[in-house]
């Protein structure tokens, strides 16, 4: 019962898959966060006629399954004749998807700073930019960081879907091995364990940060 054809090479193959998972996550979160901060600030300070369209468009990315977004983007890329490889398409789709969530997180963070605090800062002679960089950002960061960590982990788990457009990441690499050695439970358990090890420590860190910062409020 404890015999297995799973070799060290297979484990190495899966770890390489995990590397791809992390790389996609990195680019998606980097791009998504930059976009998210820009849109979030825009949504927090701009009048409704700028705010509403941005909100509407970003909401679409949160209401359509990621799998469908990936397929659509991949098809659209071919239609307009872009020569992107699947990896780029995956990163771009996930980045936009991340941005849609990150915008709301940033916006909630900025809006969580009391107007009185900002007015106090301005009355003390801080300029608008100074108020933003040394008052709003530090306070907003405390509100936003735990959610942002949650988002990052969520995106990491959602990268499991990019194999549909042809990227071999962790889950796909485990499928490849399953097809060869026919031990789905064992191989999938290892894949699950790797996901768990990548996600759980950071999730714990996020929960601790959230708790500690709430205590100090």
Partner 1 sequence: MHYTFQWRVAFNALPDMLWGALVTLEVAVLSMVLGVFFAVVLALGSSSQYRAFRGAAATWVELARNTPALFQIYMAYFGLGSIGIQLDSFPALLAGITFNNAGYLAETFRGGLRAVPPTQMRAARSLGMGPVQAFRLIVLPQMFRVVFYPMTNQMVWAILMTSLGVIVGLNNDLTGVTQDLNVKSFRTFEFFAVAAVIYYLIAKLVTLSARLMAYRLFRY
- How near is the Cβ of 139 to partner 1 at its closest, in Å? 23
The phi, psi pair for 5, rounded to 5°, reads -90, 10
Regarding 80 and contact with partner 1 (CB under 8 A), the answer is yes
> For partner 1, which stretch binds (CB under 8 A), given 5-13, 34-42, 119-127, 189-197?
189-197
Regarding 4 and contact with partner 1 (CB under 8 A), the answer is no
The total of other beta-carbon atoms located within 10 Å of residue 45's CB is 14
Tokens 């983007």, residue located: 73
Q: Which is nearer to partner 1, 13 or 150 (CB)?
A: 150
x-marked contacts with partner 1 along 144-183 as a string, rule CB under 8 A: ---------x---xxxxx--x------x---x--x----x
Q: Which is nearer to partner 1, 39 or 101 (CB)?
A: 101
Q: Residue 202, exposed/middle/buried by CB under 10 A (0-12, 13-18, 19+)?
A: middle
Regarding 84 and contact with partner 1 (CB under 8 A), the answer is no
- How near is the Cβ of 190 to partner 1 at its closest, in Å? 11
Q: Which is nearer to partner 1, 143 or 191 (CB)?
A: 191
Footprint of partner 1 on residues 92-131 (CB under 8 A)?
none
Regarding 67 and contact with partner 1 (CB under 8 A), the answer is yes
Instruction: Check residue 126 and give left, alpha or beta (phi > 0: left; psi -120 to 50: alpha).
Output: beta
The H or E element spanning position 86 is: helix 86-111
Angle at the Cα of 147 (from 50 to 162), degrees rounded to 5?
A: 85
Regarding 192 and contact with partner 1 (CB under 8 A), the answer is yes
Q: How far is CA 209 from each of CA 41, 105, 117, 141, 200, rounded to the nearest angstrom?
A: 23, 16, 23, 12, 14
Regarding 210 and contact with partner 1 (CB under 8 A), the answer is no
CA torsion, ordered 143, 204, 173, 21, to nearest 10 deg: 30
Sign of CA dihedral 47, 50, 54, 57: positive
How many residues of this chain bind partner 1 (CB under 8 A)? 39
Q: At what angle do helices 184-215 and 170-181 cross, to 10 degrees?
A: 160
Taking CB under 8 A as the criterion, the residue among 20, 24, 29, 66 binding partner 1 is: 66
Residues in the chain: 217
Q: Which is nearer to partner 1, 67 or 124 (CB)?
A: 67
Residues lying near partner 1 in the complex (CB under 8 A): 60, 63-69, 71-72, 74-76, 78-81, 153, 157-161, 164, 171, 175, 178, 183-185, 188-189, 191-192, 195-196, 199-200, 203
């Amino acid at each position: 019962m404890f015999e297995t054809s799973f070799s060290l090479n297979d484990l190495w193959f899966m770890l390489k898959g995990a590397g791809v998972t992390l790389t996609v996550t990195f680019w998606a979160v980097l791009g998504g966060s930059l976009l998210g901060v820009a849109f979030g600030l825009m949504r927090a300070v701009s009048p409704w006629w700028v705010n509403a369209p941005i909100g509407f468009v970003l909401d679409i990315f949160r209401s359509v399954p990621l799998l469908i977004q990936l397929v659509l983007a991949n098809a659209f890329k071919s239609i307009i004749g872009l020569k992107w490889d699947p990896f780029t398409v995956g990163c771009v789709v996930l980045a936009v998807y991340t941005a849609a969530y990150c915008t709301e997180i940033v916006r909630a963070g900025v809006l969580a700073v009391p107007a009185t605090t900002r007015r106090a800062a301005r009355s003390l002679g801080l300029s608008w930019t100074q108020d933003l960089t040394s008052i709003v950002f530090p306070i907003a960061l405390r509100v936003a960081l735990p959610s942002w960590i949650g988002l990052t982990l969520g995106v990491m788990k959602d990268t499991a879907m990019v194999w549909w457009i042809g990227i071999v990441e962790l889950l796909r690499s485990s499928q490849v091995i399953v097809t060869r050695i026919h031990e789905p439970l064992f191989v999938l358990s290892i894949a699950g364990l790797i996901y768990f090890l990548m996600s759980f420590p950071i999730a714990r860190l996020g929960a601790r940060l959230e708790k500690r910062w709430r205590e100090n409020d």
